Structure 1
Amino acid sequence: MKTKRKVEIAVISDVHLGTYGCNAIQLLTYLNSINPRKLILNGDIIDVWQFSKRYFPKSHLKVIKKIMDFAANGVEVIYITGNHDEMLRKFSDTSIGNISIVDKLVLNLDGKKAWFFHGDVFDISVQNAKWIAKLGGYGYDLLILLNRFTNWFLEKLGRERYSLSKKIKDSVKGAVKFIDDYEKVITDLAIENGYDYVVCGHIHQPKMEFRENKNGKTMYLNSGDWIENFTALEYQFKRWKIYNYNNDKLSPFFADEQIKEMELKDLIAAITIVDKKQK
């Protein structure tokens, strides 16, 4: 039996369960490699915008089951709402057992203040033109599906995987400017309010760096996503780090044997029936 890494806090975001772009198996492998005290789901975990009854595979249900198992076993699970799962905002500030739903979160980490939120409130395209943002979301998902086919073909040829959407985003000056503006607004506000760390997601760009202006400094952290980057944030021993699944040199973990062997109907039953430990 492999030893799981103890982590004080693990942060994941932008999983987009229910879409073709979601890499649920890799995420499940990661979740089964850690033993966190606190798991923060920083928005867009379930993609309600693009949810379809025709596509919600077993691996996606396994991720939900694993998160519920964490909570049942004493892990504090905090679900911070995002724009793709905004329907959950009507349940903000409610808790069921060890699972709580919030729009934002402030934690004291070893004497330093950390501010967590998804980040869509700083995205003008989401706030002022939601239908355009949703259309963009469908286009992005289609691009990811095309990219999956391309990478399947490349892997058959023994070639390196290629990210179409990342290449497009990185080559478009407007997208680069948007990311820079997004990060600046967030970090300026964090500095103004005295936060030592500001932790978000939304733009699918993992990053950890100090930002400074004339009023002070803060550490900007972005957990990235499980569509292209396969990244998470981890806090342990008073330090943050970016976990990157593709660069992990440890022996891979697979799903817990119990979950791995469960039939689809049993998975659904396990998710829809509240565990007695959570009552």
Structure 2
Amino acid sequence: MKKRKLDIVVISDVHLGTQACHADELLTYLSSVQPKMLVLNGDILEVQRHKETFFPPIHSKVLRKIITLSMKGTEVYYITGNHDDTMRRFSGVALGNLKIVDKLVLNLNGKKTWFFHGDIFDISIKNTKWLTKLGGYGYVLLFAANKTFNWSLKKIGREKYSLSKKIRDNTHKSLQYTANFERSVAEVAIENDYDYVVCGHIHQPKKIVYETKKGACTYLNSGDWVENLTALEYSLKRWKVYRYNHDKLSPFFMDEELKNMNIQDLIDSIADKAEQREREGEPPLS
């Protein structure tokens, strides 16, 4: 079957390495689309749980699929989140079309678009208004505060703090937190002149326009692949929320190329590509 061609696909909160992850469905979805860009908006890997050695073959196939997409020309951005925050030490590193970043800003048909995971709002969800006064420095300061706070907790032997995780099971608090999160993100985005802001983290897929006295922006959340099985798709200058459970065609897709491919094959292919670029006088992969 012909794959759907899209400009951008955004997925987040996959949590590979946990039993809650719907890796089969995600692999099927990724096999059904052909995006020019794939944004992995945080919590793709459950790095904190890797010591439990739960990483079945289907989870590895998802990673292989992502790398295969990058090798075939898809530009892949891995934005770090709180469950894979150890990746933040590699922020700025690129391997061909695969780049690791903490945030991403794109100009999409004249619309300024801000991508980040969202966990930085956990410790300051009630106090983000002052950040809007600081313009572009607000995000940097909030990111630094979040990192320092969790570092301090680790030093005294406590788990990293995630407000959204603690209140998710409480329906009333969860609804209030979600509303506060969305509004706070949108206000900071508007203050910094973003037309779109794209998050994950709270496992609540959504597309909504927020307006203040200073302007308006569209808030987008890619949801997750634990409960909702959702993604964001950008095509023909429009964003939409994709829902796997509403897609009658996607389950028919599955790439044969993944069946016999292993990680070493992918590494060797990337190395061969780098050598070829060097022989042809092209700049090295950075």
**TM class, shorter-chain normalised?**
0.7 to 0.9
Q: What is the RMSD computed on CA atoms of the aligned residues?
A: 2.4
Structure 2 vs 1, CA of residues 134 and 254 (structure 1 numbering), >3 Å: closer, same or farther? farther
| Residue equivalent to 2:264 | 269
2:202 corresponds to which letter in structure 1? I
| Residue equivalent to 1:110 | 109
Aligned-residue offset at 1:256: 1.0
TM-score normalised by structure 1 residue count = 0.81
2:185 corresponds to which letter in structure 1? I
State the alpha-carbon separation in 1 of the partners of residues 37 and 183 from structure 2: 28
Runs of 4+ in structure 1 over 6 Å off: 134-137
1:267 corresponds to which letter in structure 2? N
State the alpha-carbon separation in 2 of the partners of residues 114 and 256 from structure 1: 31
| Residue equivalent to 1:22 | 21
Unmatched tracts of structure 1, length 5 or more: 141-167
State the alpha-carbon separation in 1 of the partners of residues 193 and 163 from structure 2: 35
Q: Is 1:206–1:223's contact at 8 Å kept on the other side of the alignment?
A: yes
Spell out the pairing of 1:1-279 with structure 2 (5 A cutoff). 2-124=1-123, 127=146, 128=149, 131-133=158-160, 169=168, 172-250=171-249, 252-259=251-258, 261-262=259-260, 267-273=262-268, 275=270, 276-277=272-273
2:174 corresponds to which letter in structure 1? A
Structure 2 vs 1, CA of residues 25 and 111 (structure 1 numbering), >3 Å: closer, same or farther? same
Unmatched tracts of structure 2, length 5 or more: 125-144, 275-284
1:152-190 deviations in Å (ceiling 9; x for gaps): xxxxxxxxxxxxxxxx94752212111111111100000
Structure 2 vs 1, CA of residues 121 and 169 (structure 1 numbering), >3 Å: closer, same or farther? closer
Aligned-residue offset at 1:133: 4.9
State the alpha-carbon separation in 1 of the partners of residues 263 and 48 from structure 2: 21
Aligned-residue offset at 1:267: 2.1
Aligned-residue offset at 1:21: 0.6
Q: Secondary structure at the match of 1:194?
A: coil
1:113-162 deviations in Å (ceiling 9; x for gaps): 0000000111119934664557999x99xxxxxxxxxxxxxxxxxxxxxx
Q: Secondary structure at the match of 1:55?
A: coil
1:51 corresponds to which letter in structure 2? H
Identity %: 52
| Residue equivalent to 2:140 | none
State the alpha-carbon separation in 2 of the partners of residues 173 and 133 from structure 1: 23
TM-score normalised by structure 2 residue count = 0.80
State the alpha-carbon separation in 1 of the partners of residues 162 and 213 from structure 2: 39
Count of residue pairs the alignment pairs up: 246
Q: Is 2:25–2:251's contact at 8 Å kept on the other side of the alignment?
A: no
State the alpha-carbon separation in 2 of the partners of residues 136 and 62 from structure 1: 31
